[in-house]
Amino acid sequence: MTQGPRYRVKPRRRREGRTDYRKRLSLLRSNKTRMVVRKTNNQTIVQFVEYKEKGDNIIAQAISKELETKFNWKFSTSNTPAAYLTGYLAGMRAKEKKIKECILDIGRQRPVTGSKLFASLKGVLDTGINCPHDEQKIPNEDRLKGKHIDEKIGSQVETIIKKISGGK
């Protein structure tokens, strides 16, 4: 005769809505480096992560606040052009660490067409790193250059891209 409750308490991170363990397991089984994109109210974070048994290992990362401090970005760090530049910066850092391909990990965020998540992905793709994606999800060039916000953003995006890529 069994005693005790007939239910099983789910893991804490699942209860809090932070981790989808089925999706995470399928990403880990691919044995590829994950490109983790997280957005907050004020910034975008892009990380290249490898799975280790003792814990994930971050290979390269970029935070959109770095655009203000290192590259003299004068606009918001939470908009689409900032997400694109953050992805580009993280992609260049990952390329220096010999990463050639990755797989996108957006966690429990919704994959909305043209969102900041896919703007970050476009920044990584522009550095030459391969990542499987749907071309329709990526925002158009006008949104990446910030023409929907202000005409001045486009020129600053171009100058920051040149600074990140080393003036090539």
Predicted pLDDT of residue 1: 63
Q: Provide the CATH topology of domain 19-164.
A: Nucleotidyltransferase; domain 5 (3.30.420)
Q: Which of 135, 123, 128, 130 is nearest to 102 (CA)?
A: 130
Residue 168 has pLDDT above 60, yes or no: no
- Give me the sheet containing 57-63, strands edge to edge: 57-63, 44-50, 34-39, 103-105
What is the domain partition of the chain in residue ranges? 19-164
Rounded Cα distance between 106 and 97, Å, is: 22
Question: What's the whole-number average pLDDT of the chain?
Answer: 92
Q: Render pLDDT for 152-166 as a digit per residue (tens, 0 to 9).
A: 898 999 999 999 988
